[in-house]
């Protein structure tokens, strides 16, 4: 995950230009099966992870693209940044999507606006201490982490990490 964010954040970057997002499982019509983050980001998921990592490096998120549920979650978490809904989830493997041409047009237009607001945008920051709970899809992911210092096993597939270093917390749960 850290590599994913670093790819969008180079030293000269003022804001990530585009972050395609999967919607959270809790949205009802779409699912994100890898992890859950109930404590630190008030049930934020991939959106919260990416925004917090970008914010950790002082970079605001100015554009989020994804399905309707992901954009709604991002709106609640990030406030007034630029958004593009490119699809509407109908289930785990089904969606109604814009045509690639229409999606590209909307994203290009929103990206131009996102670049314009980047100078005045504020990074999404989560202040320590951090507490991150993760439920993995497979027990062996939790097995591999439970013996690391600072990792607490919560259940068959779940762990929790607490700490004051965001990157270290993310590393302990396998996001970096």
Phi, psi of 153 (to 5 degrees): -80, 130
pLDDT at residue 111 in the model? 92
Neighbours of 92 (CB within 10 A): 12
Query: How far from the centroid of its chain's Cα atoms is residue 151's Cα?
Result: 21
pLDDT at residue 100 in the model? 94
3-state secondary structure 74-137: HHHHHCCCEEEEEEEEEECCEEEECCHHHHHHHHHHHHHHHHHHHHHCCCCCCCCCEEEEEECC
> For residues 123 and 132, what is the distance between their CA atoms, to the nearest angstrom?
20
Helix (H) or strand (E) holding 20: strand 20-21
pTM: 0.71
Of 5-9, 16-20, 118-122, where does the model show the most confidence? Answer: 118-122
> For residues 62 and 145, what is the distance between their CA atoms, to the nearest angstrom?
33
The tens digit of pLDDT for each residue in 13-44 reads: 555 544 555 555 444 333 333 334 334 444 55
């Amino acid at each position: 995950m850290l590599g994913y964010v670093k790819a969008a954040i180079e030293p000269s970057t003022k804001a990530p230009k585009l972050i395609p997002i999967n919607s959270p499982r809790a949205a009802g019509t779409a699912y994100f099966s890898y992890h859950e983050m109930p404590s630190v980001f008030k049930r934020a998921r991939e959106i919260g992870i990416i925004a917090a990592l970008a914010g950790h490096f002082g970079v605001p998120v100015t554009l989020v693209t994804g399905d309707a549920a992901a954009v709604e979650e991002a709106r609640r978490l990030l406030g007034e940044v630029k958004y593009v809904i490119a699809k509407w989830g109908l289930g785990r493997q089904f969606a109604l999507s814009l045509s690639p041409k229409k999606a590209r047009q909307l994203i290009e237009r929103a990206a131009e606006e996102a670049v314009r607001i980047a100078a005045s945008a504020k990074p999404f920051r989560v202040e320590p201490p951090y507490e991150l709970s993760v439920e993995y899809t497979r027990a062996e992911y939790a097995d591999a982490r439970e013996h690391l210092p600072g990792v607490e096993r919560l259940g068959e597939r779940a762990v929790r990490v607490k700490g004051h270093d965001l990157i270290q917390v993310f590393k302990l749960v396998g996001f970096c």
